[in-house]
Amino acid sequence: MSTVLLWASTFALGCFALAFGCAALRLLRGPSSRDRVLALDTMYINAMMLILVLGIKYGSTLYFDIALLIALFGFVGSAAMAKFLLKGEVIEP
């Protein structure tokens, strides 16, 4: 019965790993700095979903807290980098 869930979560893990690889490739060869910021933004979302699916697969609720922390810090990081691209400094005087 739960073999279907096992296979579906394995499929989802493979998909997220491939998506993470795509974003990493764009991060490595992005022509400009804004592409790199966008690729990092995509990478943290993919990593967050990877950890959420791991929590489903192992039946544990601990992984949810890790996913929430990744979402929080990832947002702070990409917002700071986008602000830096916009103004040249993160916190304006």
Partner 1 sequence: MMDLPLWASVPASLLLILGGAITLMGSAGLLRFDRFYSRMHAPTLGNTLGVASVALASILVSSALENRPVFHEIFLTLFLVITSPVTAILLMQASLQRDKDKAAEE
Q: Does 73 bind partner 1 (CB under 8 A)?
A: no
DSSP at 32: S
69 binds partner 1 (CB under 8 A): no
Interatomic CA distance for residues 57 and 13, integer angstroms = 10
The CA dihedral of 42, 48, 53, 55, to the nearest 10 degrees, is 170
For residue 47, state whether it binds partner 1 (rule: CB under 8 A). Answer: no
Spatial separation of the C-alpha atoms in residues 58 and 47, rounded to whole Å: 17
Q: Is 55 in the site for partner 1 (CB under 8 A)?
A: yes
Q: Could you list the residues that contact partner 1 (CB under 8 A)? A: 1-2, 4-9, 11-16, 18-20, 22-23, 25-26, 32, 34-35, 37-39, 41-42, 45-46, 48-49, 52-53, 55-59, 61, 64, 67-68, 71-72, 75, 78-79, 82-83, 85-86
